[in-house]
Chain A
Amino acid sequence: MHQTFEAALEINLLHANQEGAEHNREHFDQWGITCFNVMSSPGAGKTELLEKTLSALNSELKMAVIEGDMTTELDAERLRQYNVPVIAINTGRSCHLDSKMVAGGIHTFSHQYSPQDFDLIFVENVGNLVCPAEFEVGEHAKVALLSITEGEDKPLKYPIMFQEADCLLITKTDLAPYLDVDIDRIADNVRQMNPNVTIISVSAKTGEGLEAWFNWVQTQVKARLSRDEKQFTLP
């Protein structure tokens, strides 16, 4: 006779991805590397920001980039000019990076370079406002970009990424004179759902605000390093 039963599973759908992300983070921690997951809609200025950052901080930090450009090597080529390792990972047609893809990038990186010499890895995610925020890749902090051309309402309409961000960069502020945009309102809309986020307005074009961003980056890296040293010196 057939009988009906129920089995309780209560398993998170993202369980496997989260485990992979924790594994990646353990590698970064072992090597003393801080990792940022850089996310935004297509064209908000991720690669441009990374170009400016690599160029400005090159003498102070040893950096690398894991590049999640979907189909081309275009972004990776732009970043290679700065003489830092750029690992392009093939995301196929996926609309976001997941921890497994990034694990592949970490694997390549650790075979070609000495990871313990590095301080900071940027992961440039696939341009997409919706999905990347759900898939942790092993980062220590999430950096979200929103360009002022996208409109003040985007954080309200696509809240997850903004709710999860540790740092929000409001980009392309040089375009403000040509637009009818209220930058304070963008910031208010994000703070409604994420009161602890650091918000910095920047223009990669004029350089406005970039100094504050560089400081944030350096503070994060130093905070991790001193924390790690403490761990090592504990009896």
Chain B
Amino acid sequence: MHETDMTKALILTVKDWYESQPEKPTITKIYLIVGKFTCVEPVSLQFAFEVQTRNTFLAGVELVIRETPLIAFCHQCQQEYQPQMGLQYACPDCHSPMDDIRSGRELKIDRIEYSSLITKNN
């Protein structure tokens, strides 16, 4: 499953960040943004994350996934629309093809929540 690879990439990126932090903070949450128009299934990603982080510094960390809808822009009608995935991608009004995707292709680590003993401003 490609979710395994995605999870590996996720863990490596977070590890890089963790190691760059002098005080080695306790990570509590990782926020991801996953577009609906990608090959990634959030449930599989959650599962892979749980399995792969067991007994690591990320064990028990909550993975918060926000899904973004597929939104395209029709230049003919000068308006956004939500294609019906699996059924139709062309503009419902003028039937122009989908050629400008505005949302739905995201696959990114948005932010990390962590707690630390030291306050930031000393």
Contacts of A141 in B (CB 8 A): none
State whether A3 touches B116 (Cβ < 8 A). yes
Asked if A5 meets B98 with Cβ closer than 8 Å, knowing A156-B89, A193-B89, the reply is no
Whether a CB of chain B sits under 8 angstroms from the CB of A234 is: no
Interface string of B33-57 (1 = CB under 8 A from A): 0000111100000000000000000
Number of A-B contacts (CB under 8 A): 106
* A13 interface neighbour in B28, B37, B86, B107, Cβ under 8 Å: B107
Other-chain contact of A192, B98, B108, B112, B116 (Cβ < 8 Å): B98
Q: Is A114 an interface residue (CB 8 A)?
A: no
Interface size class of A (residues with CB under 8 A): 35 or more
Mostly helix, strand, loop or mixed at chain A's interface? mixed
Is B87 an interface position by the 8 A CB rule? yes
> A1 in the interface, Cβ–Cβ < 8 Å?
yes
CA distance A1 to B98 in the complex (A): 52
B39 engages A160 (CB within 8 Å): yes
Interface of B is mostly: mixed
**Which A residues are CB-close (under 8 A) to B61?**
none
Measured in the bound complex, the distance between the Cα atoms of B72 and A14 in whole Å is 22
Contact, CB under 8 Å: A16 / B12: yes
The reply to whether B114 and A7 form a contact with Cβ atoms under 8 Å apart is: yes
Complexed CA–CA distance, A130 and B41 (Å): 11
Of A32-40, A63-71, A92-100, A174-182, which binds chain B? Answer: A92-100
- Of all A-B residue pairs in the complex, the 5 with the closest CB atoms, nearest first, are A195-B97, A131-B2, A193-B89, A192-B90, A13-B107
Can you show 7 pairs from A to B with CB atoms below 8 A apart?
Answer: A14-B9, A14-B107, A15-B9, A16-B12, A98-B5, A159-B37, A195-B99
